[in-house]
Chain A
């Protein structure tokens, strides 16, 4: 086969937009048999969308398809469903496990492709009554596990496996497909221990030597250098660099990853600056938080009064765990003081009483009463914590909702934050993501906090709403002098909003830099302690 003439995979001028939001622009690359290509980029750079296009996921078609061509061996293909992609020899291991917990590894590996035996019943009633050929299932599983080069027990039930073995089972499932030509691994090492990750890298090398091409997505840059033939760096929907991995190094890749055209990106304007004092308002010492997927290991941090402190970092490094732990939503330990007074951990009420407030990143799960009116959503915490919006009867014995005060405060925030809704009695579920986020902010503002945590305030909302939300936060900070700690995956957003930015890596604070610092410096911190 002539590799030069017809590469295994060629991607030409791929463009994709979600509801007018351009997320991929002019993506071009080629991949030959046996080649290992590393894909890196910040969260939201477009890696996952690109992989979804390659794998023919429904979400692409439902949102209007894509522009450009995908060619396999020089022939144009257009996958309507993942089945088409599998048929063409593409395998994908997703970030989330798609395994059946009650089945053994072997059963999961051959799922829906089980070898079967004819039986008396199936002779009469048709193929649906064929029985499973367990010996063959075992054989298929063992051979694909061997191909991978990692020892996992084919008879072990998935639910009893350590998380690394689950990952290997998924890979073995893809390898067991006879016609596999291209394997896409989406952050496979994120859940693995160092040793398991090494074994995985070894098996990637093995696949490549057998002629299977691999696309390898990871945040651990060292792995890219170790195993990949070439590396593709994505940023904001563009491929910013494609280079043989032998010719580059970690710091260069980091710079490509985060190094936007720094001149265009405005850091926080001076007139907006609100940092008024050098007084420490909150100290965090030896904080650990047991939040699944966002474990905080040992965080020490001082927050200055009146500032906006940004907390950034890659996904899964623990930045979200910090506010969730302090606010008592996940189990935490360590010492947190506000204005010199201890904040008891694992006690949401005590935090709220101390005039802390939190806008959760999980808008629909934690942030809102989806089935209740906006009025309830805005006024509820303030009512419960500070006894606001209540009328007292019988000497305070009966505390009745003051519907009028509730309506007034809700209307006030609807105006201030420009929340688009039919009335203050509309149900929160019916609003768009951006407007829901504004309701979450209104809820926190109505508490009149002295200290505000805002977690991923712009996740999943469009550009226009983003600007409004960030602006509202800045205004709140400036006008009421409230200290704001903003956690976000988007560095650029932090640099526009915050005074200082702390970068979390590996569950620890890797460093704190002023927002005006160069992107390279932030990038280096982000990957400094990744585990």
Chain B
């Protein structure tokens, strides 16, 4: 009798844990755990895998964080992330063009990217305020069309620094620009920890932690509270004297700026600037990461960002490696696409359910 009640309590506690943490997240976490166990068995180097996962987490986390403000203000998932990324790319290329080198070029890239992010973000926010209810669809178009537009601009803008432009013509930016000698590893090398094959980019992680803390703090301020209320019930917020459009605009600008910073953080870890179609593929991984983290279309927290980015990046780094080692065939890209798009699809079907 006594034993059974204990068992029941144990059972209900487990059910509560599942309900709180979310079954999908549990499954994905379990799958990731399985991959970690399988990795050494199939012959992949375990420490390398761990540091790959942590590195990719550090590159991507800021872009996932960029999702948070727009989710809070009810603008939905920021499929227009490429717009912010383009601001970041403008900052990055101009910083190089103007002759800044070393880690300082990273700071300058951020400084130069900021006004672009503010201007583009304002325009983007103004647009989203006019099409309430259809934000996510319009955001997708904004993102894609801005990428297409910039494909022309990267060729036409008068960049002329030798290691950025096409060798033969002497003008027009290359698709991939190496950051060696500029800001490659600008953050990652700060306080870097090396244990055998394992490399932990402490600086990048700290930088993300700082931005995440600022975001968390912002959401606890009066303005941040208003932003959340706008997302939760715009009519309530309006009746309480909040300027709904202004809050939404602010959230979009914040998101765009974070995307700009996010791509710079990504580049310093990756070591290259990717132009042209590069930004095209950036929004979906960020969206799926935050959804896997347990966010819904109108609720998101910093914990969702951290958990989601870790799970998503863990799976997309580990799955191809383990699979390749198992079947000795390179399918990494195919698997990456299946996993990331499948996750988005799954997450969007569960639109209303969010955990906080």
- Beyond A368-B233, A371-B232, list 11 extra A-B contacts (CB 8 Å): A329-B239, A348-B238, A348-B239, A352-B240, A360-B239, A380-B240, A384-B240, A399-B223, A400-B217, A401-B222, A401-B225
Residues of A within 8 A of B239 (CB): 327, 329, 348, 358, 360, 366-367, 381
Residues of B within 8 A of A370 (CB): 232-233
Given contacts A348-B241, A352-B241, A384 and B236 within 8 Å (CB-CB): no
Q: Which of A327, A366, A368, A398 contacts B221 (CB 8 A)?
A: A398
Which B residues lie at the A interface, using CB under 8 A?
A: 217, 220-223, 225-226, 228-229, 232-233, 235-236, 238-243, 299
* B225 and A368 within 8 A (CB): no
The answer for the CA separation of A376 and B224 in the assembled complex, in Å, is 13
Within 8 A of B (CB), among A362-411: 365-372, 376, 380-381, 383-385, 387, 390, 398-401
Counting chain B CB atoms within 10 Å of each CB, which of A371, A383, A387, A398 scores highest? A371
* B232 and A369 within 8 A (CB): yes
CB distance from A97 to the nearest CB of B (A): 23
Residues of B within 8 A of A371 (CB): 232-233, 299
* A381 and B222 within 8 A (CB): no
- Could you list some 22 contacts between A and B, CB below 8 A? A329-B239, A348-B239, A348-B241, A352-B241, A365-B233, A368-B236, A376-B225, A376-B229, A380-B225, A381-B239, A383-B222, A384-B225, A384-B226, A384-B240, A384-B241, A384-B242, A385-B240, A385-B241, A387-B222, A399-B222, A400-B221, A401-B220
* B222 and A372 within 8 A (CB): no
The answer for the CA separation of A368 and B233 in the assembled complex, in Å, is 8
* A390 and B233 within 8 A (CB): no
Chain A, residue nearest B238 (CB): A348
Main secondary structure on B side of the interface with A? helix
The answer to whether the Cβ of A353 comes within 8 Å of any Cβ in the partner chain is: yes
The answer to whether the Cβ of A147 comes within 8 Å of any Cβ in the partner chain is: no
CB distance from A381 to the nearest CB of B (A): 4
Q: Which of A349, A372, A390 contacts B232 (CB 8 A)?
A: A372
The answer for the CA separation of A376 and B217 in the assembled complex, in Å, is 17
Residues of B within 8 A of A390 (CB): 222
CB distance from A479 to the nearest CB of B (A): 24
Within 8 A of B (CB), among A319-376: 327, 329, 348-349, 351-353, 358, 360, 365-372, 376
The answer for the CA separation of A370 and B228 in the assembled complex, in Å, is 12
Residues of A within 8 A of B226 (CB): 384
The answer for the CA separation of A365 and B223 in the assembled complex, in Å, is 22
Residues of A within 8 A of B222 (CB): 383-384, 387, 390, 399-401
Q: Which of A349, A351, A372, A400 contacts B243 (CB 8 A)?
A: A349
Residues of A within 8 A of B225 (CB): 376, 380, 383-384, 401
**Chain A residues bordering chain B, tally (CB within 8 A):** 29
The answer for the CA separation of A383 and B236 in the assembled complex, in Å, is 14
The answer for the CA separation of A327 and B240 in the assembled complex, in Å, is 10
Counting chain B CB atoms within 10 Å of each CB, which of A348, A384, A401 scores highest? A384
CB distance from A428 to the nearest CB of B (A): 10
Given contacts A366-B236, A399-B221, A401-B221, A353 and B241 within 8 Å (CB-CB): yes
Residues of A within 8 A of B217 (CB): 398, 400
* B220 and A369 within 8 A (CB): no
CB distance from A186 to the nearest CB of B (A): 28
The answer for the CA separation of A530 and B87 in the assembled complex, in Å, is 60
Residues of A within 8 A of B228 (CB): 372
Residues of B within 8 A of A380 (CB): 225, 229, 236, 240
CB distance from A83 to the nearest CB of B (A): 32
The answer for the CA separation of A434 and B239 in the assembled complex, in Å, is 21
Within 8 A of B (CB), among A274-292: none
Residues of B within 8 A of A369 (CB): 229, 232-233, 236
The answer for the CA separation of A378 and B299 in the assembled complex, in Å, is 20
CB distance from B140 to the nearest CB of A (A): 26
The answer for the CA separation of A167 and B179 in the assembled complex, in Å, is 70
Q: Which of B233, B235, B241, B299 contacts A381 (CB 8 A)?
A: B241
Chain A, residue nearest B224 (CB): A401
Chain A, residue nearest B356 (CB): A371
The answer for the CA separation of A367 and B236 in the assembled complex, in Å, is 6
The answer for the CA separation of A400 and B220 in the assembled complex, in Å, is 6
* A365 and B229 within 8 A (CB): no
The answer for the CA separation of A399 and B238 in the assembled complex, in Å, is 20
Counting chain A CB atoms within 10 Å of each CB, which of B226, B232, B233 scores highest? B233
The answer for the CA separation of A365 and B220 in the assembled complex, in Å, is 25
CB distance from A289 to the nearest CB of B (A): 15
Residues of A within 8 A of B299 (CB): 371
The answer for the CA separation of A380 and B228 in the assembled complex, in Å, is 11
CB distance from B306 to the nearest CB of A (A): 22
The answer for the CA separation of A371 and B238 in the assembled complex, in Å, is 17
* B220 and A366 within 8 A (CB): no
Chain A, residue nearest B236 (CB): A369
The answer for the CA separation of A360 and B221 in the assembled complex, in Å, is 26
The answer for the CA separation of A360 and B238 in the assembled complex, in Å, is 12
Chain B, residue nearest A359 (CB): B239
Residues of B within 8 A of A387 (CB): 222
The answer for the CA separation of A372 and B229 in the assembled complex, in Å, is 8
CB distance from B185 to the nearest CB of A (A): 33
Chain A, residue nearest B222 (CB): A399
Chain B, residue nearest A390 (CB): B222
The answer for the CA separation of A376 and B228 in the assembled complex, in Å, is 10
Residues of B within 8 A of A327 (CB): 239
* B235 and A365 within 8 A (CB): yes
CB distance from A348 to the nearest CB of B (A): 5
Residues of B within 8 A of A366 (CB): 235-236, 239
Residues of A within 8 A of B240 (CB): 348, 352, 380-381, 384-385
CB distance from A411 to the nearest CB of B (A): 19
Chain B, residue nearest A371 (CB): B232
Chain A, residue nearest B352 (CB): A371
The answer for the CA separation of A31 and B330 in the assembled complex, in Å, is 82
CB distance from B237 to the nearest CB of A (A): 8
The answer for the CA separation of A329 and B240 in the assembled complex, in Å, is 11
Chain B, residue nearest A327 (CB): B239
The answer for the CA separation of A398 and B223 in the assembled complex, in Å, is 9
CB distance from A235 to the nearest CB of B (A): 35
Chain B, residue nearest A406 (CB): B225
Q: Which of B229, B233, B238 contacts A329 (CB 8 A)?
A: B238
The answer for the CA separation of A369 and B234 in the assembled complex, in Å, is 9
CB distance from A364 to the nearest CB of B (A): 9
The answer for the CA separation of A335 and B163 in the assembled complex, in Å, is 68
The answer for the CA separation of A376 and B222 in the assembled complex, in Å, is 12
Residues of A within 8 A of B243 (CB): 349
The answer for the CA separation of A390 and B220 in the assembled complex, in Å, is 10
Residues of A within 8 A of B221 (CB): 398-401
Within 8 A of B (CB), among A86-138: none
Chain B, residue nearest A377 (CB): B236
CB distance from B248 to the nearest CB of A (A): 16
The answer for the CA separation of A349 and B228 in the assembled complex, in Å, is 18
The answer for the CA separation of A369 and B235 in the assembled complex, in Å, is 9
The answer for the CA separation of A118 and B90 in the assembled complex, in Å, is 66
